[in-house]
Amino acid sequence: MLRVRRSEERGRSELDWLDSRHTFSFADYHDPAHMNFRALRVINEDWIAPSSGFGTHPHRDMEIVTWVLEGELVHRDSLGNGSTIRPGEAQRMTAGTGVLHSERNPSPTARVHLLQIWLLPGTKGLAPGYEQRAFPAGQRRGALKLVGSRDGRDGSVTIHQDVDLHAALLAPRERIELPLRPGRHAWVQVARGELLLDGERLAAGDGAAVSDEPLVRLEGVQDAELLLFVLA
């Protein structure tokens, strides 16, 4: 079964410094039909204006993954971490018992474009933690590269939930497949370009849930970038 969430159907928040699209209910956007998919709670597509960003704010009991598509994002947190996240890098922050952090666009001229992802942790009350790793385009071109997993295997960041998070770049007519074991579900989020998911055309910003299928089939239509979540 395939359920598509079109880009234009998403919720939206607009501030003078932020344009954000919400795949699932978030902040003032509430849609009972789109609260989450399995443990996947939030996918926000954000555009942050130059020299702007999220001030210091709290989180707890959430796994937060940041994937930058264009530009740079500066991260600071109460654990003492400070870093710059660039395209092709996955950052995972375990909020656990509580953490404060801020995110800022350091560019004085260009917006930063990113996906902010929240997953419900498998266990509450975890010690806060942080991890960031790079996954060059060559590892993702024409292939599903594992960038996040529960056990941190194959160089992926460790996400404290039963999830495999893959990233891929697809050229036109390029095809990749991923088997789904019984009881597993998938969410495909198109970050850029266009692709076919089991024959269904998806464009940038579109997402789709896949359940009760033995295989996820992807084919590039235009040059495309995507994230694929495999969930319990």
- CA gap 191, 49 in Å, rounded: 19
Q: Work out the mean pLDDT of the chain and round it to a whole number.
A: 98
Burial class (CB in 10 A: 0-12, 13-18, 19+), 89: buried
Percentage of residues of the chain with pLDDT beyond 70? 100
pLDDT of residue 184: 98
Percentage of residues of the chain with pLDDT beyond 90? 100
pLDDT digits over 67-124, tens only? 999 999 999 999 999 999 999 999 999 999 999 999 999 999 999 999 999 999 999 9
Angle formed at CA 118 by CA 150 and CA 178, multiple of 5 degrees: 50
For residue 195 the two structure tokens come to: 């692709």
Tell me the helices (H) and strands (E) count for the chain, helix number first. 1, 22
pLDDT confidence of 189, banded at 50, 70, 90? very high
Domains in the chain (CATH in brackets) are 10-134 (2.60.120.10), 137-231 (2.60.120.10)
pLDDT of residue 141: 98
- CA gap 87, 10 in Å, rounded: 23
pLDDT confidence of 147, banded at 50, 70, 90? very high
For residue 166 the two structure tokens come to: 């893959």
Angle formed at CA 168 by CA 162 and CA 171, multiple of 5 degrees: 155
Using DSSP's 3-state secondary structure scheme, residue 142 falls into coil
Nearest to residue 95, comparing CAs of 122, 59, 149? 59
pLDDT confidence of 170, banded at 50, 70, 90? very high
Nearest to residue 216, comparing CAs of 185, 192, 191? 185
pLDDT of residue 48: 98
The model scores a pTM over 0.95: yes
